[in-house]
Structure 1
Amino acid sequence: MQTETTTTAAAAERAAVRKTVLMCRPEHFTVTYKINPWMDPSIPTSTQTAVQQWQGLHDAYVGLGYGVELIDPIEGLNDMTYAANGGFTLDGKAYGAKFTYDERVPEGPAYMRWFGDHGFQVHEPVHVNEGEGDFLLSNGAILAGHGFRTSLESHDELRSIFDREVVSLRLVDPSFYHLDTAIAILDETNIAYLPKAFDEASQAELARRYPDAIHVSDEDGAVLGLNSFGDGRTMLIAARATGFDAQLRERGYETIGVDLSELLLGGGGIKCCTLELRR
């Protein structure tokens, strides 16, 4: 167990890396169809509440000194607020999304237009993928999920476009259908994850690469506690993920709890609403 002195020292050593992110205000958010286990069209949703909660996340990023850029929401695209799914950016390049479900397909071209208009070299996808929902940058490598929303073939596209190591990880639990619901990037070299979300081979690979990773509880996973985002010093996490909050603080991270319970009705949380821009 870490002592208070050790924890304080770890916190002092953590340096925040300035982030720039893309977000989409949930002006048209509602749940009218079911494409993941979290969605239930029979449960009423409040667009006003979703916007208010989203604004809290936006303002927290601004308060931490993030650059926050916005893409205009499009009427009829209920899930466009989950910006992470819109693509993956690195080294000034943007790999566009090609969505699994028809309801979200128009988001792909919309995000690619935004990338092109804002200086990125855009690569239109051949294979199905849902962007940073399934692609996470860690220590120079791209952790890449597959099994539900993103095809394994898209991982080869990633390799050819970005010339980075791509680590394929198979998701097996439908409740954790994107990689960013099952892994949180804490800083350049550290992660937290939910082992049961992955097959045995992927669990073994994660254990090999990250022997000191945080393993979160089923309870924190169930409120999308891992769907979080941070700058290497401060993590923004689901307010209800109290166990994960304690684990992070023990490692010397600062935390900010955010309530996105309304957007959770659509199957998304903090990271789902956040696409990192790496120019």
Structure 2
Amino acid sequence: MDGMTTTVAATTGRSQRRVRPRHFLMCPPTHFDVSYAINPWMDPAVPVDRDRAYAQWSAVVAAYERAGHRVDRLEPVPGLPDMVFAANGATVVDGRTLLARFATPQRAAEADAHRAWHQRFGVLYGGLAGARLAEPVAVNEAEGDFAVLSSVVLAGHGYRTSPDAHAELAALTGREVVGLELVDPRFYHLDVALAVLDEDTDQVAYHPPAFSAASQRVLAQRFPDAVIADDADAYAFGLNLVGDGRHVFMPTGAVHLRTELEARGYACVELDTSELLLGGGSVKCCTQEIRSLPAPRTAGPAAGEGEPR
């Protein structure tokens, strides 16, 4: 699937939007719970319906697979209730992987599970464990704060990821990394304040008040045609979405954002993630992308060990 592109007609008169099948790593919410509060959205006093969370997560997986994307599963670990938010475990660019170093002790052990998966399967997507799997020095929460585009990586800081981690990712990948300062604790990760709609053409959406004035200027200069999310969109976690260039997989409730995206020819796939939102995450938080080297895959993980099922 790597490198393949399918053209799909847009719903408006704009240019056709293109889908490149993606490879995602996700972790079932088998042990999902809100037993502590490490972001403003978490309240341990509110009970979690784990079966409902699992059904919602499964619907996200099914939506990806219907669109032609590959989903591998990371085995959940008892006692790590936030592992469902797999985006925070590692950042993979051109087969090079920077592992996470979590900011909070409650999630620190998740890094071991991600390390083990990437050590075992990284060679299959172009990563070479010894040379391309990087152990972090600075704190970073991976794709929670790293938004990968074709020409640049946008990197959040202010709450979870250290600016020093930006230099680590730049050195590993050879990509330009542009830091963006987050200033509202409700948007503690970049992926709840900014969304990549089309990685290949550098199309983004974002919520300006989540960023410092200087970072707002950077975004306005680099992305003059960006989609702007309003307060209601942002508070509904509407920007915690995954775009594949044609489809936008997004949580329900971001009415204005959906209207804007559809006007630009995107096909919006709304997904109920209300139970997962109790942990402060939605579609993107659940999704780590494996960005391979530009070469065909000739093998996959053994059955039951990471392959789709």
For Structure 1 versus Structure 2, the TM-score category normalised by the shorter chain is over 0.9
Tell me, what secondary structure is at the counterpart of 1:95? strand
**1:7: Cα distance to partner?**
5.9
The answer for the alignment partner of 1:128 in structure 2 is 139
Tell me, what secondary structure is at the counterpart of 1:265? helix
Partners of 1:7 and 1:66 in 2: how far apart?
A: 21
Residue 165 (structure 1) aligned to one of 173, 176, 187: 176
Q: Give the counterpart letter for 1:166 in structure 2.
A: V
- How many residues matched? 273
Q: Give the counterpart letter for 2:212 in structure 1.
A: D
Structure 1 segments unaligned to the other structure (5+ residues): 1-5
Partners of 1:151 and 1:256 in 2: how far apart?
A: 33
Q: Give the counterpart letter for 1:18 in structure 2.
A: P
Map 1:224-239; keep pairs closer than 5 Å.
224-239=237-252
Farther-moved stretch of structure 1 (132-141 vs 36-45): 132-141
Map 1:12-31; keep pairs closer than 5 Å.
13-31=16-34
The answer for the alignment partner of 1:257 in structure 2 is 270
The answer for the alignment partner of 1:189 in structure 2 is 202
Percent of residue pairs bearing the same amino acid type:
46
CA deviation profile, 1:106-160 (whole Å, cap 9, x unmatched): 0112101111111233101001000011001123211000000000111110111
Tell whether 2:74 aligns with 1:61.
no
Tell me, what secondary structure is at the counterpart of 1:136? strand
Tell me, what secondary structure is at the counterpart of 1:272? helix
- TM-score between the two structures when normalised by the length of structure 2: 0.87
Partners of 1:230 and 1:7 in 2: how far apart?
A: 16
Tell whether 2:147 aligns with 1:147.
no
**1:42: Cα distance to partner?**
0.4
Contact 2:89 2:110 survives alignment (8 Å): yes
CA deviation profile, 1:87-116 (whole Å, cap 9, x unmatched): 100111110000011010001121011111
Instruction: Find runs of 4+ consecutive structure 1 residues off by over 6 angstroms.
Output: none
Contact 2:139 2:160 survives alignment (8 Å): yes
Q: Give the counterpart letter for 1:124 in structure 2.
A: E
The answer for the alignment partner of 1:40 in structure 2 is 43
Residue 219 (structure 2) aligned to one of 199, 206, 231: 206
Contact 2:151 2:202 survives alignment (8 Å): no
The answer for the alignment partner of 1:8 in structure 2 is 12
Partners of 1:98 and 1:175 in 2: how far apart?
A: 21
Structure 2 segments unaligned to the other structure (5+ residues): 1-9, 293-309
- TM-score between the two structures when normalised by the length of structure 1: 0.96
The answer for the alignment partner of 1:175 in structure 2 is 186
Partners of 1:204 and 1:215 in 2: how far apart?
A: 14
**1:9: Cα distance to partner?**
2.4
Partners of 2:112 and 2:47 in 1: how far apart?
A: 29
Contact 2:92 2:289 survives alignment (8 Å): yes
Farther-moved stretch of structure 1 (49-58 vs 118-127): 118-127
Contact 2:12 2:264 survives alignment (8 Å): no
Tell me, what secondary structure is at the counterpart of 1:186? strand
Farther-moved stretch of structure 1 (131-140 vs 74-83): 131-140
The answer for the alignment partner of 1:3 in structure 2 is none
Residue 100 (structure 1) aligned to one of 93, 103, 109: 103
Q: Give the counterpart letter for 1:33 in structure 2.
A: Y
